[in-house]
Amino acid sequence: MNKIKVAIAGCSGRMGKALLEGILHSDDLTLHTALEHASSVQLGKDAGELVGNACGVKITANAEVALQGANVLIDFTRPEGTLQHLGICMKLGVPIVIGTTGFSAQQKAELGAAAQHIGIVFAPNMSVGVNLTFKLLEMASKVLSHGFDIEIIEAHHRHKVDSPSGTALGMGEVIAKTLGRDLAKCAVYGREGTTGERDPSTIGFATVRGGDIVGDHTVLFAGTGERIEITHKASSRSTFALGALRAARFLQGNAAGMYDMQDVLGLK
């Protein structure tokens, strides 16, 4: 059996290491290349040593050379770095799995344009459980469309740089779309002072940052006399890595286009 040749961007980061673990313990995947930024102290080292399992693949910053011959790139870095890698992937015809968050509307448009040429799985969260939660939120929003206030509470580790999380925003998008609302117009990202009564058409967001929290998300539907809470808690980054590897497998043989984890999991 020919193994799928996977490239990892940001291999020495928290998600990069989780992806390395998943690939090195997989029967159908092999590590093709491991990328880091040009000033990384890890350059030239064996990527497998980052997870205690030498594999013979040296960490490099030369993406254009390293991605040649790859079957797929998995990128959980920053928007600017992801877009640079995206340009190289288009040039080489390499599909890409993108777990990076914090893209602007213009940057998302660039992803959409690239999807006309290569296969892209782009999702704010690669966890199988989170994406099942998206489906549950769609169902709940249809039933609880009147008489319930909606609040999204998320918590992450102290090192996370964007807020709200991409997953929280993704949850908000699912709910807003189901309710026929525009999240850009109905989202409330903070409350302080005398804010007046809550507008029932809004979707509220609350953010917690602290410690080593991997990722907790709760959507609260608060009605009169009852409330429903739909919660997902991640205790390990391996759940995101396993989902991303599932997405990498999905892209093999699929046509160019923009996909998400709902496509990967067959939930559409």
Predicted TM-score (pTM) of this structure: 0.80
Residue 172 reports pLDDT greater than 80? yes
List, in order of start, the domains of the chain with CATH numbers.
Answer: 4-126+237-264 (3.40.50.720), 128-234 (3.30.360.10)
Q: What is the pLDDT of residue 233?
A: 96
Q: Average the pLDDT over 140-160 and give the result.
A: 97
Residue 193: HSE in the Cβ half-sphere, 13 Å Cα cutoff: 0
How do residues 103-143 score in pLDDT, each as one tens digit? 999 999 999 999 999 999 999 789 999 999 999 999 999 99
Q: Average the pLDDT over 240-260 and give the result.
A: 96
The span from the CA of 193 to the CA of 191, in Å, is: 7
Q: Average the pLDDT over 196-211 and give the result.
A: 97
Percent of the chain residues topping a pLDDT of 70: 100
Return the closest-CA partner of residue 126 out of 158, 161, 97. Answer: 97
- Across the chain, mean pLDDT equals 96
Cβ neighbours for 138, distance < 8 A, ≥ 6 positions apart: 174, 175, 178
How do residues 175-189 score in pLDDT, each as one tens digit? 999 999 999 999 999
Q: What is the pLDDT of residue 124?
A: 79
Residue 102 reports pLDDT greater than 90? no
The span from the CA of 238 to the CA of 17, in Å, is: 9
How do residues 13-38 score in pLDDT, each as one tens digit? 999 999 999 999 999 999 999 999 99
| pLDDT confidence bin for 267, thresholds 50/70/90 | confident
Q: Average the pLDDT over 47-76 and give the result.
A: 96
Of 65-74, 122-131, 188-197, 254-263, where does mean pLDDT reach its minimum?
A: 122-131
Q: Please give the positions annotated as active site.
A: 156, 160
Return the closest-CA partner of residue 157 out of 211, 203, 118, 116. Answer: 211
Of 123-127, 144-148, 153-157, where does mean pLDDT reach its minimum?
A: 123-127
Residue 1 reports pLDDT greater than 80? no
